[in-house]
């Protein structure tokens, strides 16, 4: 109910402003609720002991849905975006096989509680190399450079033992952004794809969405997002894939 009242208030405010944003300038916020499928594989090495597990199959970690947010600014052909998402997963399972994590063996038939936390902070800039203004439509194609900072933590607790491993990495990325607007941007289709691979690490990310502006400065959005990352840091290798649809809304001026 509170969320519905907030949305109604935002709609009322948006209806009171002029019909078009300032030419060559746009700023706003974008919020989404994501429904991703998780795939997570973690390998740790402590001395001669190496262990690897699948978070879902071996430890019963379940899919969850999450909010995420983005703030953006466009000045002419240059876009700036800052986004953040925090994902928290958990599992509670009686093991059907031994699991080795961080040098510690969690034996078969023991109950293990798992927590997987993942924070992602993205800063990116996009420069449109094409942005023609057509009669009934507009189009843009841009080059993207960004940095994704990943802060993750995995902990397993069972048989009177708790083991924790952290992994952190800033990952530079490059890519393309494309957008098509119809009926003076009332209806839009946008997509971004970025990635980078180096020294045993990689990250690939894609985001495609359609949006509709029923009133000025307010957009309803629906899309699909994919993140595929592999981080090899010291004693841990974390391979995580997230993919799924999302719904969202945008306020801008």
Predicted TM-score of the model (pTM): 0.86
SS3 call for 2: helix
Q: What is 2-252's CATH number?
A: 2.40.128.90
Integer-rounded Cα radius of gyration of the chain: 21
> Which pair of structure tokens corresponds to residue 211?
């949006």
d(CA 144, CA 79): 9
Return the number of other C-beta atoms located less than 10 Å from residue 174's C-beta: 13
pLDDT digits over 158-199, tens only? 989 999 999 998 989 999 999 999 988 899 999 999 999 988
d(CA 6, CA 14): 12
> Which pair of structure tokens corresponds to residue 122?
């993205």
Closest of 88, 71, 89 to residue 80, by C-alpha? 71
Report the half-sphere exposure of 237 (CA within 13 A, side-chain side). 13
pLDDT digits over 46-82, tens only? 989 999 999 999 999 999 999 999 999 999 999 999 9
| pLDDT of 6 above 60 | no
Within 30-133, residue ranges assigned H as helices are 55-59
- Which residues have CB under 8 Å from 186's CB, separation 6+? 212, 213
pLDDT digits over 89-128, tens only? 999 999 999 999 999 999 999 999 999 999 999 999 999 9
- Which residues have CB under 8 Å from 142's CB, separation 6+? 77, 79, 126, 127, 128, 129, 130, 176, 177, 178
| pLDDT of 21 above 70 | no
What pLDDT band is residue 23 in, cutting at 50, 70 and 90?
low
Mean pLDDT across 3-8? 39
d(CA 223, CA 205): 14
How does DSSP classify residue 22?
A: P
């Amino acid at each position: 109910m509170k969320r519905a009242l907030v949305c109604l208030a935002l709609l009322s405010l948006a209806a009171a402003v002029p019909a078009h944003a300032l030419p060559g300038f746009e700023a706003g916020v974008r919020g989404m609720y994501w429904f991703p499928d998780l795939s997570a594989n973690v390998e740790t090495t402590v001395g001669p002991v190496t262990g690897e597990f699948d978070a879902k199959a071996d430890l019963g970690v379940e899919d969850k849905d999450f909010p995420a947010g983005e703030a953006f600014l466009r000045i002419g052909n240059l876009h700036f975006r800052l986004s953040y998402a925090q994902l928290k997963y958990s599992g509670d399972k009686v093991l059907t096989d031994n699991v080795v994590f961080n040098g510690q063996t969690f034996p078969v038939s023991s109950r293990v509680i798992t927590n997987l936390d993942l924070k992602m902070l993205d800063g990116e800039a996009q420069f449109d190399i094409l942005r023609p203004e057509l009669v009934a439509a507009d189009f843009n194609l841009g080059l993207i450079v960004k940095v994704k900072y990943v802060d993750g933590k995995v902990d397993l607790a069972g048989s009177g033992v708790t083991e924790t491993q952290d992994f952190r990495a800033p990952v530079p990325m490059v890519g393309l952004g494309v957008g098509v607007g119809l009926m003076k941007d009332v209806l839009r289709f946008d997509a971004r794809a970025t990635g980078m691979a180096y020294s045993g690490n990689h990250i690939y990310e894609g985001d495609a969405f359609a949006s509709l502006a029923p009133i000025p400065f307010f957009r309803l959005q629906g899309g699909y997002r994919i993140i595929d990352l592999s981080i090899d840091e010291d004693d841990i290798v974390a391979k995580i894939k997230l993919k799924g649809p999302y719904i969202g809304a945008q306020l801008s001026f």
